[in-house]
Structure 1
């Protein structure tokens, strides 16, 4: 069977939430036929979204369920534990982003050395054929699967011909000669370039964590900040000051608020712990302690600096706030969190 080639187009998606299965044993026996794709999907960037759009489109046309197969932890964490990989999105963020594409289900397989040792045939037959009843598998041309990444597009096409599922290929996509990739998004975020990262992700990058007590120093100088816990979800970008939005759960006028976001160690006060904190513009009355918030980062404004006095710091913060206003006035206000 020759792989069926398609050029991805805009595919309608919905805001539903996909069912999440953490093993093949959890997949319903009455799921019926599926259209499947596979990948790590870190960041769920525009390239991922194109593939997932094709999955949803093909599934709807066939009356099948649209399913993405992914892994936790990231395979690199298993194969190269000595080289930690900072991921663009946490597992829960990834689930939400995958669910928003219109998928019916997400299969999160526990990535182990045992799983990694399966041959391409063993994996395809156990997962795609017996586990998910795939009628089609949608992949990029550079697909690799099985032990040592020994399986490729031709391998998958041969197994599809044998087991009766179609193989649909989606071309690599990008802009300016570059390829949309999680690696490129990570590199840009590490550099603090959230604007260019957003062009790969298809949205502004977000951080999520509970608001905890800090030093309360900001309140004494007129800029009370919400300090995020150290358990931040999402890749924390380079130190600096950013224009962004704070998103709170629920609706109403308090759900989306303009914010100046600071990331760093606060060198003016000889800080040593790297923190993420946000000042909500013109608000000194908010009590956010214990609340889980998201920070959507729109633009990097300046690096973290050491000031010689509190007065110099306050003068700069006043300027930062005015710049945040200008940036956010030109940005689309995000929807409130669910």
Structure 2
């Protein structure tokens, strides 16, 4: 079944288009086309869509192409931890929209986002597999890691899934647990590194530079008065905002052309020199004072952490440090090279 045929008549049409290719997004089992199957399926939270996720999703797409099936990832909204441990808020690496785009970029034909509730979590492994994989998706194969868990209390494991596959006619394909030196690729590890400001090491888990996205809004306009006009991002930033500090990065604009990718010094913090209290993300595009970005949604790819946020005793001292920051940003970005194209 082609991606354009994956929408049932009368169902909400929601899709992500990456490089001209459409990936359908369904928000419930009821939205699935009755004749969707066969499919090759995987399941997970996919926060960050890191290199481990990409390895699994690559197998899903390859298996689907070989079988003439649709490649589908099953995921959850909200993150299960937010439901089971609501007293401990979880800061996600990617927003739901960013996650969809990154999943689509792997070549999937569809993403099924299931509403995660305590009632949903109470399903037995059999109930979940039969309703989702068998009746809903018509799975011919399910791709998982060896540590897969499913069903109430994570009571189902790989052996459970294999047994249900034998009963219902789908194959279970396992992907070996791969990772970086010293540990696994994991969303938890990426979050920890970002919280420490180590965007460079986080990128080695994610397989790309960490990205923030938000609309540019009006700020205090101090930067313009001292020769460093900044684009201030709104408080609704998509992507986990890392530790306070100054970063080298790239600003990406969707308009294309010569200004599509711009070198930037990115500041995250409360502007302690000016007794600020609100945490902000702002970016100075190197050597540019002519940009009018207000109201535009921009993206920032963070390459390296340069220094912590500091309180300066005077504006002159701040400007001297910012001049030094710009020099360092140039050096880092020249060594790194421009970011590869991605969603």
Question: Corresponding residue for 1:167?
Answer: 172
Structure-2 change in CA distance of 1:156 and 1:299 (3 Å):
same
Deviates more, 1:225-234 or 1:21-30: 21-30
Within the candidate set 129, 139, 163, 2:144 is matched to: 139
Question: Corresponding residue for 1:284?
Answer: 289
In 2, distance between residues paired with 1:167 and 1:281?
51
Secondary structure of 1:253's counterpart equals: helix
- Does residue 1:82 correspond to 2:78, yes or no? no
- Does residue 1:297 correspond to 2:302, yes or no? yes
Offset, 1:257: 0.5
In 2, distance between residues paired with 1:68 and 1:84?
25
- Does residue 1:129 correspond to 2:134, yes or no? yes
Question: Corresponding residue for 1:214?
Answer: 219
Offset, 1:17: 3.6
Deviates more, 1:79-88 or 1:25-34: 25-34
What are the ranges of 5 or more consecutive residues in structure 1 without an aligned counterpart? 1-12
In 1, distance between residues paired with 2:342 and 2:267?
22
Q: How many residues align?
A: 326
Offset, 1:219: 0.4
- Does residue 1:236 correspond to 2:253, yes or no? no
Question: Corresponding residue for 2:31?
Answer: 26
In 1, distance between residues paired with 2:329 and 2:106?
31
Secondary structure of 2:258's counterpart equals: coil
In 2, distance between residues paired with 1:335 and 1:52?
20
Structure-2 change in CA distance of 1:212 and 1:314 (3 Å):
same
Taking the TM superposition and a 5 Å limit, the aligned residue runs for 1:253-332 are: 253-332=258-337
Q: Could you report, residue by residue, the CA deviation over 1:231-285 in whole angstroms, capped at 9, with x for unpaired residues? A: 0000000000000000011210011100000000000000010000000000011
Report if aligned partners of 1:255, 1:337 keep a CA contact under 8 Å in 2.
no
In 2, distance between residues paired with 1:177 and 1:270?
41
Offset, 1:30: 2.2
Report if aligned partners of 1:17, 1:100 keep a CA contact under 8 Å in 2.
no
In 2, distance between residues paired with 1:175 and 1:80?
29
Question: Corresponding residue for 1:202?
Answer: 207
Question: What TM-score, normalized by structure 2, do the two folds share?
Answer: 0.93
Secondary structure of 2:284's counterpart equals: strand
Question: Corresponding residue for 1:94?
Answer: 99
In 2, distance between residues paired with 1:256 and 1:242?
16
In 1, distance between residues paired with 2:324 and 2:254?
29
Question: Corresponding residue for 2:228?
Answer: 223
Within the candidate set 183, 186, 192, 1:181 is matched to: 186
In 2, distance between residues paired with 1:55 and 1:260?
39
Supply the RMSD in Å over aligned alpha carbons: 1.3
Offset, 1:31: 1.7
Q: Could you report, residue by residue, the CA deviation over 1:105-158 in whole angstroms, capped at 9, with x for unpaired residues? A: 000001011110000000000000000000000001111100011000000000
Question: Corresponding residue for 1:334?
Answer: 339
In 1, distance between residues paired with 2:303 and 2:27?
33
- Does residue 1:113 correspond to 2:113, yes or no? no
Question: Corresponding residue for 1:3?
Answer: none
Question: Corresponding residue for 1:151?
Answer: 156
Query: Stretches of 4+ moved more than 2 A in 1?
Result: 13-17, 334-338
Structure-2 change in CA distance of 1:86 and 1:127 (3 Å):
same
In 2, distance between residues paired with 1:75 and 1:51?
20
Report if aligned partners of 1:14, 1:102 keep a CA contact under 8 Å in 2.
no
Offset, 1:304: 0.3
Structure-2 change in CA distance of 1:15 and 1:296 (3 Å):
farther
Report if aligned partners of 1:212, 1:228 keep a CA contact under 8 Å in 2.
yes
